[in-house]
């Protein structure tokens, strides 16, 4: 027998049917998608933080409950890969077709997801704060955008460049899942309507929405590296002020150009404002550039 690209299906975290790109080999089926330059491969950590094996089955139906986080991670990684390819002509996070590895069932009751420089990792959540985190396509877009940022602007993960790094991940989370809430599909499964963050109303989840609320936190793990997930509320609100005026189609081109062409590792909020204005001017002209300028002035960034 030999490795053959094929298709199958499975159920996601909410019991929803999803078609899957798979590979079969010697009577087994694997979450390996060979339909892109770089494979998309989804691994199972089986509640460890160290041992990862390709998620597999004896037929092409990934329908058991324990497979649900793998089905969603695999499906949404494909969706986000295709978003970057189709909308920005970017072939994977490095622009060169790098393979995309996801790991599900990471740790035990683990309430987070992250990019570690090589792969995306998703906890199952504890069932109260989070359900399995791969169940939200905005979370997957957020994490994969950390990889894109690492390979482009290289925004350092502290203080203002760190908050911009976080904000760009939320912004591309919006482009893949166009609502102003982040992580709503997996956050507090027992509470309807809430989310991890709001871009339209950052204050609802204890983030500043204006420079006059900027939080000076230390560059430590407890200080969230200078508040990278806190102060991101300010550029997030500027994004909300922008996209509600010029629309998603223009905003995504402008934000992508700023991230991949103008921004540099130590960029401040002011630098981001200038980079986005220049990108808007390059691509569309003064009307859109003025919208960006007003969007950032409204949050106290000049
Ligand atoms: N989920 C978090 C994030 O992507 C993990 C982290 O703190 N880096 O921002
Ligand atoms: Zn992040
Ligand atoms: Ca969302
Ligand atoms: Ca909830």
**CB under 8 Å to 192, separation ≥6 — which residues?**
none
Helix (H, G, I), strand (E, B) or coil at 296: helix
pLDDT at position 112 is 98
CA-113 nearest atom, ligand 1: 1
Count CA atoms closer than 13 A to 287's CA, side-chain side: 5
Task: State the sign of the Cα–Cα–Cα–Cα dihedral 247, 164, 38, 76.
Answer: negative
The active-site residue, picked from 143, 184, 252, 288, is 143
Mean pLDDT by 10 residues, the chain (302 residues): 92 98 97 97 98 98 98 98 98 98 98 98 98 98 99 98 99 99 98 98 99 98 98 99 99 99 99 99 98 99 98
* pTM of the complete model: 0.98
Class of domain 1-135: alpha beta
Residue 229 is a catalytic residue? yes
Per-domain residue ranges for the chain? 1-135, 155-302
Helix (H, G, I), strand (E, B) or coil at 122: strand
The active-site residue, picked from 74, 105, 142, 229, is 229
Closest listed residue to residue 269, CA positions, set 224, 226, 227, 299 = 299
Ligand 1, from 80, 107, 110, 114: best to mutate by most atoms within 8 Å of Cβ? 114
Query: Cβ-count burial of 210 within 10 angstroms (0-12 exposed, 13-18 middle, 19+ buried)?
Result: middle
Q: How close is the Cα of 135 to the center of ligand 3, in Å?
A: 11
pLDDT at position 2 is 82
Q: Are 77 and 42 in contact (CB under 8 A)?
A: yes
Instruction: Return the CA Rg of the chain.
Output: 19
Asked whether 177 lines ligand 1 (CB < 6 A), one says no
Asked whether 113 lines ligand 1 (CB < 6 A), one says yes
Residue 3 is a catalytic residue? no
Q: Residue with the nearest Cα to atom 6 of ligand 1?
A: 114
Q: Residue with the nearest Cα to atom 8 of ligand 1?
A: 114
Looking at domain 155-302, which of 3.40.1170.10, 1.10.390.10, 3.10.129.10, 2.30.30.50 is its CATH number? 1.10.390.10
What does DSSP say about strands 113-115 and 120-122: parallel, antiparallel, or unpaired?
antiparallel
């Amino acid at each position: 027998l030999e490795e053959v690209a094929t298709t199958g299906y499975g159920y996601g975290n909410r019991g929803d049917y999803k078609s899957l790109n798979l590979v079969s080999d010697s009577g087994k089926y694997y979450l390996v998608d060979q339909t892109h330059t770089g494979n998309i491969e989804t691994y199972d950590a089986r509640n460890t933080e160290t041992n990862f094996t390709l998620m597999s089955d004896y037929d092409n139906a990934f329908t058991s409950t324990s497979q649900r986080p793998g089905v969603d991670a695999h499906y949404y990684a494909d969706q986000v890969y295709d978003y970057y390819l189709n909308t920005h002509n970017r072939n994977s996070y490095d622009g060169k077709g790098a393979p995309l590895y996801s790991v599900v069932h990471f740790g035990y009751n683990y309430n987070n997801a992250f990019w570690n420089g090589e792969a995306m990792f998703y906890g199952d959540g504890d069932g109260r704060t989070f359900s399995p985190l791969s169940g939200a396509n905005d979370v997957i877009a957020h994490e994969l955008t950390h990889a894109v940022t690492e390979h482009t602007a290289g925004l350092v993960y502290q203080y203002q460049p760190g908050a911009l790094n976080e904000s760009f991940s939320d912004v591309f989370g919006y482009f893949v899942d166009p609502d102003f809430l982040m992580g709503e599909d997996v956050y507090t499964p027992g509470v309807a309507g809430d989310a991890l963050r709001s871009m339209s109303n950052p204050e609802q989840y204890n983030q500043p929405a204006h420079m006059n609320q900027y939080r000076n936190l230390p560059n430590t793990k407890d200080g969230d590296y200078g508040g990278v997930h806190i102060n991101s509320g300010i550029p997030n609100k500027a994004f909300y002020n922008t996209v509600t005026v010029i629309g998603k189609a223009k905003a995504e081109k402008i934000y992508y150009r700023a991230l991949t062409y103008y921004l540099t590792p130590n960029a401040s909020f002011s630098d981001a404002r200038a980079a986005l204005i220049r990108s808007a001017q390059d691509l569309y002209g003064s009307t859109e550039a003025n919208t960006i300028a007003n969007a950032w002035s409204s949050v106290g960034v000049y």
